[in-house]
Structure 1
Amino acid sequence: MASKTKQKTAIVVGAGVGGIATAARLASAGFSVTVLEKNSFTGGRCSLLTHEGYRFDQGPSLLLLPGLFAETFADLNTSLSAEGVELLKCDPNYNMWFGDGEKFELSSDTAVMKREIERWEGKDGFERYLAWLGEAHRHYEISVREVLHKNFTSIFNLLRPSFLRHLFALHPFESIYSRASKYFYTERLRRVFTFGSMYMGMSPFDAPGTYSLLQYTELAEGIWYPVGGFHAVVAALVRICERLGVDIRLNTPVSRILKSPDGKAATGVLTEDGETLTADVVIINADLVYAYNNLLEPTPYSRALQTRQGSCSSISFYWSLSRIVPELSTHNIFLADEYRESFDAIFDRQSIPREPSFYVNVPSRIDPSAAPEGKDSIVVLVPVGHLLNSSASTPISSAKGLPKEELDWPALIASTRASILSVIQTRTHCDALEPLITHEMVNDPITWEDTFNLDKGSILGLSHSFFNVLAFRPSTRARGCKGCYFVGASTHPGTGVPIVLAGAKVTTEQILRDLEMEIPWAEVKGKGKEVGEMDRVRRNGGLVSDLGIWMLAIVVLIASVFYVNSGLVVTWDWDRKRGWGSGRFDSPGLASAA
């Protein structure tokens, strides 16, 4: 009887957003939780850099999908405001600076968008914008309901009628750029409404059309900023963990996951200091590819993961300025004139573009506490290709990437720095920035890899191409290791702070179901007011529609089984055939790795 009431224990490896959120959820479900973090700070990439009164968000700086943040805190019986997190709405969303001297203001204010769009595409351009926004809204609603809150542990999860019914409405087989081109007729607006794929670490010419949902949430819900920096959200989750008794140990790197004598189940972890900690479940919030190849025993599957398409890396600059630069708003986008070539260099060739597209964040513009009075703190993120070689214990080189040892990194960083300083000054007509920089910090692909164990320095984990998401993405349950789970950017549902928060809920609920435990935040059936006849939803043609869905299910199942067993990687060439694209089947070592 005692064994049935014994408190369950959990170890979380990594104190990133996903790890901390999972720890809080498990603790609220009655677990005794220990979090082990290799660094001296929590939050992972969602952390702060500081220098003499200047504060910088090391990674994420835009709070999108605010509903997912609110949901996380509500499930833990609190709220952002109750935890002292104040959100400020960014207005405008961005200023976009073009090489021809023009500027486009992106805003959640419909009147502003009407003015900006009609400047370039006339009265009917705004109507087409509203139609595009309607499509992006469908992508958003379907994805939140059918993807972010559902697990895809096998290809059979793809056969859910509720998912299949909406599959083609998500436009997963068309690129964001292809979909935008159907609504916007000028190259300028096509760029304005497609650059957001960079959030997923993908080119707009490759990213599935589904991801227009990100720009929808910006335009419909706005971009928000937590006072004190993005880490304020993580700090609030840490406080919740502490109230719930979670033991968070910093500066405690883990060397490997311990297994049962038969090698089939996780029993705990071994720290680099030689300490053995046991637990009923182990949740890994470290980079998934790194973990499979360094914390778990190398297998054909772990080696195959190294050959999967990864997201980009970045060269990020953190500048302390001696005065305010009024020409820059909180969020600024500088797109390369050679738009397609810039993205091809990063995502197709995994190199550094001759002319980069980049993002400039000025946190002190919206939150004066980010810099001393009368001064600015500036973050510049320049997307670049990832590294050529994996950091795995038994590395497999990528076909493409930046060679870590062969490049002159100081010279490369210096040339990138000079390029972006010139572009900012030329396009905004601000005073020269270089004389204003009193202190600089830099993260490059090697820094990202070393500091956070990011495989190849990919800052957003694995890519989000169609065959790298849903059931094709590495599962939240570790392969071949019972009681071991993943949460974070490279498992389902994907990358980005709000998406990872949704993933923490998915992973925690999977653990609780596996252990046949109650889910504390589960919705009560019948909750809310009764639906009357006037408001009851009815779908016409249900029988015919459902027959079509089951026929589609068979097609999806056959295609999925073929893909999983083939060892092939599918990419889409959108230029060869408009709409669906033409599949290019490549086998970059998967078969040999197995």
Structure 2
Amino acid sequence: MNTVLASPALQRPRTKIAIVGAGPGGLAAAMLLAASGARVTVFEKDGVVGGRTRTLTTEQGYSFDLGPTFFLYPRILKEIFVRCGADLEAEVDLRRLEPQYRLIFEAASGATHIDCSSDMERMEAELARFSPGDAKGLRPFMAENRAKLDVFRPVLERPFVGPLDMVKWDMIRALPLLRPWSTVDRDLARHFRDPRVRLAFSFQTKYLGMSPFRCPSLFTILSHLEYEHGVFHPIGGCGAISAAMARVAERLGAEIRLNEPVERIAFEGRRARGIETGGRRHDTDAVVVNADFAHAIPRLVPAELRRDWTDEKIGKARYSCSTFMLYLGLDRPLPELAHHTVLLSEGYRENIAEIEGGTIPEVPSMYVQNAGITDPTLAPAGHSALYVLVPVPNLIKQPDWPAQAARYREIALNRLQALGLPDLRPHIRYEKIVAPQDWESDYAVGFGATFNLSHELPQMLYFRPGNRFRDVEGLYLVGGGTHPGSGLPVIYEGARITTGLIAQDLGLSGAPSRPTAAGDLTAATPAAAYGPER
């Protein structure tokens, strides 16, 4: 009797948490919360985990990443796996790419290219081939951004609960290095004079669906992270990472329910008390929404409970561009094509202006993944699985996409010839198109904006939807539409922030989700980074 009275925690029922969506943020949250002792149930509307970070497989034997193809800065996810008693590299075969990718610059005088490398001597030599003076700017650029990331890291690792969080010491300390009045391109001009070189270190703003000529100068850290920490390919595609996260979460006791869409969040007053799916209510102590913010929040949270993020505000917010996607199964190998290739049109800046204005570019820039040269699991022997992405206007800027998709397929296929490829039409054995309207209808992406809310300063930090949703109680957010922002490493960091708040609010025993200085991994290593979340 005395033993029972001395241990009341043993009698307390486990905290119940529902997670809406099994994307990367939802899976990371499920892992951390289950490791903290909570009873976690993930409700996923589709038949697979991963959200946009999933693998598309076909009857013909081809496999494609649906969205993200670059896997950057694995340290954050490694730390989450360690915290959950697992080893990322034992679960997923990660291959570091060298060179990282090929950039092709179109010009009337002929195309030039850079094979981008994280080996600084090799990269300096690549730059010196056509811009000798700019090669000298590489190491100062890297050093400056190493310092910038180190200073800004604490800001990206904490929540922004109230306006006063914007004037804490870490923010004040970061401002001189952030240069909030500048843009990525303008900041790069201090190191590189050649516009092509600046593009080599700024096209990464497309990971956020933004223009380097408007994107805040903070995001020069994007290319720095690639060159400092490398670009990786998970064997099987980035969907293999989602599958590994689901396995670990389930080993920790989390339940993942596929093909079970959440219809609404159940509220009592202004507090979330559970979710409803299939006409049944599931009572919980907290709800975590990992679904796309712009698409899900107006559907799941009644308008009368949203004082800050009203329907009007969500509709008037600024969103990223969209993407036109081709997934092609080809009956021939493509050894002449790099694993990652970025084609930058001569009119790159004009392309961006067209996209921002709602015009569909006729001679677009594009990104192509030919992962088969690294990963033979993605296609039958002698075949290729080709992934083609073209940045285009979202549905707010260009609502007429359903009438444009077939025509734009031809434009995209013709543009592949600029990569030195022949007409591939006779070799297509499988084809799938995902246009902006398909992102919205098939994958529940608000306005077809594949990179979520844009990352302009008025939509960052406290001004972005909070990890603890401020309009109600018991409701939390993870994913690219919330703080700290888009990109897989940042979404994983956002899951740590969100689960830390939940642990604090609900008194979970395993509250710390980030390694301490005495832990398995050093806390001094930067633990936030931006990467592609398409």
State the distance in 2 between where 1:524 and 1:377 align.
Answer: 38
- Counterpart for residue 589 of structure 1: none
Distance apart, 1:232 and its partner CA: 1.1
State the distance in 1 between where 2:265 and 2:447 align.
Answer: 22
1:163 aligned to which of 151, 164, 171:
171
Counterpart contact for 1:149–1:502, Cα < 8 Å: yes
**Which deviates the most, 34-43 or 300-309?**
300-309
2:274 aligned to which of 251, 268, 273:
268
1:517 aligned to which of 490, 508, 513:
508
State the distance in 1 between where 2:237 and 2:90 align.
Answer: 17
Counterpart contact for 2:401–2:436, Cα < 8 Å: no
- Counterpart for residue 494 of structure 1: 485
Distance apart, 1:235 and its partner CA: 0.9
2:349 aligned to which of 314, 328, 340:
340
State the distance in 2 between where 1:523 and 1:325 align.
Answer: 42
State the distance in 2 between where 1:360 and 1:140 align.
Answer: 29
Counterpart contact for 1:509–1:519, Cα < 8 Å: no
1:205-354 aligned at under 5 Å gives the runs: 205-260=213-268, 263-271=269-277, 273-298=278-303, 299=306, 301-303=309-311, 304-346=313-355, 348-354=356-362
2:113 aligned to which of 68, 81, 103:
103
1:2-401 aligned at under 5 Å gives the runs: 5-51=12-58, 52-83=60-91, 85-99=92-106, 100-122=110-132, 124-143=133-152, 145-260=153-268, 263-271=269-277, 273-298=278-303, 299=306, 301-303=309-311, 304-346=313-355, 348-388=356-396, 401=397
Counterpart contact for 1:258–1:270, Cα < 8 Å: yes
State the distance in 1 between where 2:247 and 2:111 align.
Answer: 47
- Counterpart for residue 503 of structure 1: 494
Letter in 2 for 1:482: E
Distance apart, 1:522 and its partner CA: 5.5
User: Per-residue CA shift, 1:147-194, capped at 9, x if unaligned?
Assistant: 331111222111121221122202333111111112111121122211
Instruction: Note closer, same or farther for the CA distance 1:223–1:2 as it changes in structure 2 (3 Å cut).
Output: closer
State the distance in 2 between where 1:282 and 1:103 align.
Answer: 48
Distance apart, 1:142 and its partner CA: 2.9
Instruction: Note closer, same or farther for the CA distance 1:484–1:417 as it changes in structure 2 (3 Å cut).
Output: same
2:409 aligned to which of 411, 417, 442:
417
State the distance in 2 between where 1:105 and 1:524 align.
Answer: 36
Distance apart, 1:519 and its partner CA: 3.6
User: Per-residue CA shift, 1:316-358, capped at 9, x if unaligned?
Assistant: 0000011112221100001121111111122x21332232111
Distance apart, 1:138 and its partner CA: 2.4
1:402 and 2:383 aligned? no
1:485 and 2:476 aligned? yes
* Structure with the larger RCO, 1 or 2 (CA within 8 Å, 6+ apart): 2
User: Per-residue CA shift, 1:22-67, capped at 9, x if unaligned?
Assistant: 0111111111111101111110000111121111000001101121
1:447 aligned to which of 416, 420, 438:
438
Distance apart, 1:76 and its partner CA: 1.2
Letter in 2 for 1:402: Q
State the distance in 1 between where 2:102 and 2:157 align.
Answer: 33
Instruction: Note closer, same or farther for the CA distance 1:526–1:188 as it changes in structure 2 (3 Å cut).
Output: closer
Cα RMSD for the two superposed structures: 1.9
State the distance in 1 between where 2:71 and 2:38 align.
Answer: 30
Distance apart, 1:257 and its partner CA: 0.6
Structure 1 length-normalised TM: 0.82
Q: Figure out how many residues of one structure are paired with residues of the other and give that number.
A: 505
The DSSP-based 3-state class of the residue aligned with 1:333 is strand
State the distance in 2 between where 1:2 and 1:64 align.
Answer: 41
State the distance in 2 between where 1:494 and 1:88 align.
Answer: 26
Instruction: Note closer, same or farther for the CA distance 1:241–1:249 as it changes in structure 2 (3 Å cut).
Output: same
User: Per-residue CA shift, 1:397-427, capped at 9, x if unaligned?
Assistant: xxxx112xx4553xx23332322333322x3
- Counterpart for residue 528 of structure 2: none
State the distance in 1 between where 2:342 and 2:469 align.
Answer: 38
1:445-484 aligned at under 5 Å gives the runs: 445-484=436-475
1:574-585 aligned at under 5 Å gives the runs: none
Gap regions ≥5 residues in structure 2? 1-7, 521-534
Structure 2 length-normalised TM: 0.91
User: Per-residue CA shift, 1:473-512, capped at 9, x if unaligned?
Assistant: 1111123321111111111111111111110100000011
User: Per-residue CA shift, 1:255-286, capped at 9, x if unaligned?
Assistant: 111011xx210000111x20111100000011
Letter in 1 for 2:367: Y
Letter in 2 for 1:416: Y
Aligned-pair identity in percent equals: 34
Counterpart contact for 2:362–2:411, Cα < 8 Å: no
- Counterpart for residue 527 of structure 2: none
- Counterpart for residue 538 of structure 1: none
State the distance in 1 between where 2:11 and 2:470 align.
Answer: 27
Counterpart contact for 2:83–2:515, Cα < 8 Å: no
Counterpart contact for 1:15–1:36, Cα < 8 Å: yes
Distance apart, 1:517 and its partner CA: 3.1
User: Per-residue CA shift, 1:505-553, capped at 9, x if unaligned?
Assistant: 0000001111233445456877389xxxxxxxxxxxxxxxxxxxxxxxx
Distance apart, 1:313 and its partner CA: 1.0
